Amino acid sequence: MDGDSPQRLRIELLGPVRAWRGTTPLDLGPVRRQAVLAAMVLRAGSAISHEDLLDGVWGAAPPGSGHRVLPSYVYALRKALDAQATGYEDSVIRSSQGRYGMAMDRIHVDVADMAGRLRDARRAKESGDLAGAMAGFTDALALYRGEPLAGLPGPLAQAERRRLADRRRALESERLECLVLSGRAGEALDGLATLSAAEPYDEAVLALHMRALYANERQAEALNAYQGMRERLRDELGVSPGDALGQVYEAVLRRDDALLLGPEGARLAALSPGGPAAVPVPPRPRPRRPVNELPGITGVLIGRERERALLAAPFPPGSVGVATVDGIAGIGKTALVVRAAQELRARHPDGCLFVDLRAHSPGRQKLSPQRVLRRLLRSIGAADSEVPADLDELTTAWHAVTESLRLLLVLDDAVGSAQIRPLLPAGPGSMVIVASRQRLAGLDADRRITLEPLETGEAQTLLGQLVGEERTAGEETAARELARLCGGLPLALRIAGTRLQTRPVWTLAHLVDRMADDDHRLGELRAGDRSLEAAFRLSYDQLAPAQQRAFRTLGLTPTSEFDALTPAAMLGRPARDAEQILEGLVDTSLVQQPRPGRYRLHDLVRVHARRLAEAAPAEAGAARTAVLRLYVEAGRTASDWGSSGFPTGPPGTGAFADWADASAWLNAADAELADVVGHAAGLGEADHACWIAEALTDHFIRRGRYHEGRTALEIALPQADRATDRRMVPALRNCMGIIDIYRGDAEQARATFAEALRLSRHGGDRHEEARALSGIGTAELNAGRPEQAIAPLTAGVDLARRLEDDWIAAMALCVLGTVHRMRGRTREALLCFAESAVHAEANGRPTMISRVLSCAAEVHLDLGEFTEAKELLSRAAHLVQQAGDIPLTAITLSMLGTAELGAGNLEAALALHHDALSRLQSLSPLNEPHQTRMEMAIRSRLGRAYSAAGRVREAGQQFRTVLAFPGAGAYPAERALAVAGLRDCEAS
């Protein structure tokens, strides 16, 4: 770092973190503050957000007050790093819109210096200047002062520590390679031995070590080192050495000085009187005649380019490559492996063999390993008299005969790994391709390919090949729908194509109509002796009884995707047992696993499973009831309404640990939740359809998915009149009114609650009457009629108290307190919020508690009591983030920013407003009708904070953004705040 300005800031990360200004060391504070500095420096000029900093430095356990901790850390770092009297705008740490960054042009960092020296060294190496390269690598290594980022906590420091340590090993390896290439391999041996011992699986280091051993006339040691690595990788990791290491191994065998030592090393080796003796490579015997037993290619193979490329990629030299292809029945495994094998014939001059193992061939006996081995031995020229009978002797004979051969062996329709292992040839360079409906987890395979259904476009292309492109082009919509109904399965598409070929008067639309009903779809996919359902049935018949029952049950799941808890409830078994069964079904290719912990059935497989389930109606009925009750329980457990919010319906089973567990389970179902209500209604389960729709209402609201919540309720409402639970008649209308409130339609909500009130009083349901009264009061407030809200809210509170329904009482009191606050009755408002908080705490759900705390905090903000407001809002923000209510989180954080501003904490205020804005903008405006109003309010508060900080230009930008919103005039209060703020900016 010579030549720096005397006052230049220097930061060192390649060891314990240190910083200097000139020659003066700087105090960076505790290690976590140093970790924040390191995170910003390592971004190399780009900004890093508050969230990324919290995640990177604190990981999964960020401080509850992270929004305050970070600004305090940054403030302390500015004090340490900036020269005296440096203004905010000239600080070496830049902050904007909730992000921090470093002015890297004013800092000298050892990591950047090391990277520069590394680039220079590599350029010298590429140009042939080995001495200069070696000096450059040595200089770069000298910058390391021990373990990089020593002692710093957090996942970011851990990852960077690992990356910089890897860079150090790479530098040392490249320095040692320069020694080898310059003819000084002996000097590199000790360093390479140390690197190899430290990184026993690093093939690049071993390759360089082998080259150095070879250069020092230790060829046998080099070959033994390769064999040791090969055995280590096989035994411990189940893989083979890569191509690069294999090429070095072959070069050592061939004594290829140019490849191993480079031009200079090869020249010096040629001058050496005693070079390493070449290890003789035995000649490879050939069979008496090359054989080709591969079936001919029939039909066209559409798609599968990626899979064909994987099968065509070469395996490491000196090994037998094993590739498996698995997938459900009818996915096209045989067509793929035969086509790939035909393309690989030239690489296997000693023969290409094909065996159908008949795992799923009706009417044909499965082939035992003994029969297959006898056939294979005869195929490559062994006389019948030379073929033994015992399996072990057959395997030994097969290995002995194939040891010197390069064969291609295709094994189709395998049933298990034990059937395959004795059949593997022994000759290096041989290849085995196995096709199976099973995943063959017990087989050591180098490559595993799972075939997925064809994409819609590929499926349409295959249909066009089968029935004629003119015919499909003339009915493009029907062709697309037929491809969808066939689920992208080549067998289904071929059967459908055959039916259209043999019935030229049929249109594609006619066949689509015949297949539209699930009950008839599989029946239509039958042509001659080919039947998709028969193919599925063969897979099912090979399952164990517990797997068969689970597979039948999966056909009854109400969503296309599910986790282990769903079949566990349907089967009445622990989730762990259900997961093991599911994983076994994944191995049979009957169940797909789109991501960890989530499962699904192919559409046609689901139809088959459901048909099997319906053949056992008692079993199916119990499973359907169990899974619908699981959704009722999940919605009720996750709901903010608490246990008292659902006075009727099925009792809970304890399937979920708490509201967070249930909420996470519902989140995983994502967009299919409304379909569950439709599923229940379609089964005639009126009570369950109503219970599920009611239970999911709060979940949809907290996620801002009002349209889905309304859809679920619209499906359920016609079922309410048929339900045995008469509470559902007013209850679903109350739910609809709540969603209308959140959708911003106060007048519609008022009418819906009024209807619910009439129905609840007619049926004598006091619980729904209390909910309806509270809803009417809330609608009146939202419609701008606070005076008319008092009577229904007061009546709702009184009734909720008598019923001991804490959620209704807390909600109604919270709204009533807001009415009093708007009327300037501060004391009455605070009394309402205090009682509301008691009921909310008794209910125990975070959203209601945080809402009450936020409303009470607004009163303290009005009074200028910022310390009290901060305490309430800090707790509210923590709770509402736990609950996952994004809109309420954004509003709460912004209110906390206002409280921080009032308390004089400008940096914290700005950070909170930016955080709130970021969270709000993650919502879709289509789902959150209040997004514009909320964003206008948050930006106006942000503008006020910028003004207080003296950043007038940025403040004005926020106010102008608010006024530029389309439809801003619909929100006069928020618009007035922006107009006033902009006027103040222009006056200053």
Supply the pLDDT for residue 365: 62
In whole angstroms, how far apart are CA 858 and each of 195, 300, 432, 822, 865? 63, 71, 72, 11, 10
Task: Check pLDDT > 80 for residue 282.
Answer: no
Average pLDDT over every residue of 293-307? 81
Supply the pLDDT for residue 289: 54
Q: Residue 191 phi/psi, 5° resolution?
A: -65, -40
Which of 253-257, 385-389, 720-724, 977-981 has the largest mean confidence?
720-724
pTM summary value? 0.64
Closest CA to 295 of 366, 376, 354, 364: 354
- Burial profile 153-184: b = 16 or more Cβ within 10 angstroms, e = fewer: bbebbeebbeebeebbeebbbbbbbbbbbbbb
Confidence of residue 861 (pLDDT cuts 50, 70, 90): very high
Average pLDDT over every residue of 644-664? 90
Supply the pLDDT for residue 361: 67
Confidence of residue 277 (pLDDT cuts 50, 70, 90): very low
Task: Check pLDDT > 70 for residue 966.
Answer: yes
Task: Check pLDDT > 80 for residue 42.
Answer: yes
Supply the pLDDT for residue 881: 85
Task: Check pLDDT > 80 for residue 270.
Answer: no
Average pLDDT over every residue of 846-871? 92
Supply the pLDDT for residue 569: 95
Closest CA to 380 of 331, 418, 344, 430: 430
Question: Alpha-carbon distance 330 to 579, whole Å?
Answer: 26
Contact, 500 vs 511, CB < 8 A? yes
Supply the pLDDT for residue 274: 43
Confidence of residue 69 (pLDDT cuts 50, 70, 90): confident
Task: Check pLDDT > 60 for residue 279.
Answer: no
Poorest-pLDDT segment among 631-645, 821-835, 874-888: 874-888
DSSP secondary structure, 58-120, as one string? HTTS--TTHHHHHHHHHHHHHHHHSPTT--GGG-SEEEETTEEEE-GGGEEEHHHHHHHHHHH
Q: What is the pLDDT of residues 692-725, one digit of tens each?
A: 999 999 999 888 788 999 999 999 999 999 999 9
DSSP secondary structure, 264-290, as one string? HHHHHHHH-SSPPPPPPPPP----SS-
**Residue 551 in tokens:** 């597979």
Confidence of residue 740 (pLDDT cuts 50, 70, 90): very high
Task: Check pLDDT > 80 for residue 96.
Answer: no
Supply the pLDDT for residue 5: 55
Task: Check pLDDT > 70 for residue 192.
Answer: yes
The amino acid at residue 455 is E
Question: Considering Cα of 35, then 41, then 43, then 46, what sign does the dihedral take?
Answer: positive
Question: Alpha-carbon distance 160 to 180, whole Å?
Answer: 30
Supply the pLDDT for residue 280: 34
Place of tokens 């501003």: 901
Cα angle at 701 between 804 and 748, to 5 degrees? 85
CB pairs under 8 A, 24+ apart, for 749-754?
Answer: 749/775, 749/778, 749/779, 749/782, 750/776, 750/779, 750/780, 750/783, 753/779
Question: Alpha-carbon distance 688 to 686, whole Å?
Answer: 6
Q: What is the pLDDT of residues 232-257, one digit of tens each?
A: 777 777 777 888 888 888 888 778 88
Confidence of residue 298 (pLDDT cuts 50, 70, 90): low
In whole angstroms, how far apart are CA 191 and each of 173, 195, 201, 248? 9, 6, 16, 19
Task: Check pLDDT > 50 for residue 505.
Answer: yes
Supply the pLDDT for residue 904: 92
Supply the pLDDT for residue 385: 53
Confidence of residue 436 (pLDDT cuts 50, 70, 90): very high
Contact, 722 vs 732, CB < 8 A? no
Supply the pLDDT for residue 13: 92
Q: Are strands 9-12 and 18-21 parallel, antiparallel or unpaired?
A: antiparallel
Radius of gyration of the chain (CA): 36
Which of 292-306, 473-487, 788-802, 974-988 has the largest mean confidence?
788-802
Supply the pLDDT for residue 273: 45
Higher-pLDDT residue of 70, 928: 70
Average pLDDT over every residue of 431-445? 91
Three-class DSSP category at 383: coil
Give the percent of the chain with pLDDT over 70. 93
Q: What is the pLDDT of residues 746-776, one digit of tens each?
A: 999 999 999 999 999 999 999 999 999 999 9
Residues 6+ apart with CB under 8 A from 707: 926, 927
Average pLDDT over every residue of 184-195? 85
Task: Check pLDDT > 70 for residue 299.
Answer: no
Q: Are strands 352-356 and 408-414 parallel, antiparallel or unpaired?
A: parallel
Residue 506 CB coordination number (10 Å): 14
Q: Judging by beta carbons within 10 Å of its beta carbon (0-12, 13-18, 19+), is residue 574 exposed, middle or buried?
A: exposed
Confidence of residue 882 (pLDDT cuts 50, 70, 90): confident
Contact, 803 vs 765, CB < 8 A? no
Three-class DSSP category at 235: helix
Question: Alpha-carbon distance 241 to 232, whole Å?
Answer: 10
Q: Judging by beta carbons within 10 Å of its beta carbon (0-12, 13-18, 19+), is residue 5 exposed, middle or buried?
A: exposed
- Burial profile 319-347: b = 16 or more Cβ within 10 angstroms, e = fewer: bbbbbbbbbbbbbbbebbbbbbbbebeee
Question: Alpha-carbon distance 696 to 639, whole Å?
Answer: 7
Question: Alpha-carbon distance 46 to 39, whole Å?
Answer: 11
Poorest-pLDDT segment among 54-63, 422-431, 659-668: 54-63
Question: Alpha-carbon distance 612 to 115, whole Å?
Answer: 64
Q: What is the pLDDT of residues 556-578, one digit of tens each?
A: 999 989 999 999 999 999 999 99
Average pLDDT over every residue of 859-864? 92
Supply the pLDDT for residue 874: 93
Tell me the pLDDT of the chain averaged across its residues.
87
Contact, 947 vs 983, CB < 8 A? no
Supply the pLDDT for residue 275: 44
Supply the pLDDT for residue 844: 86
DSSP secondary structure, 688-745, as one string? HHHHHHHHHHHHHHHTT-HHHHHHHHHHHHHHHTT-S-TTHHHHHHHHHHHHHHHHT-
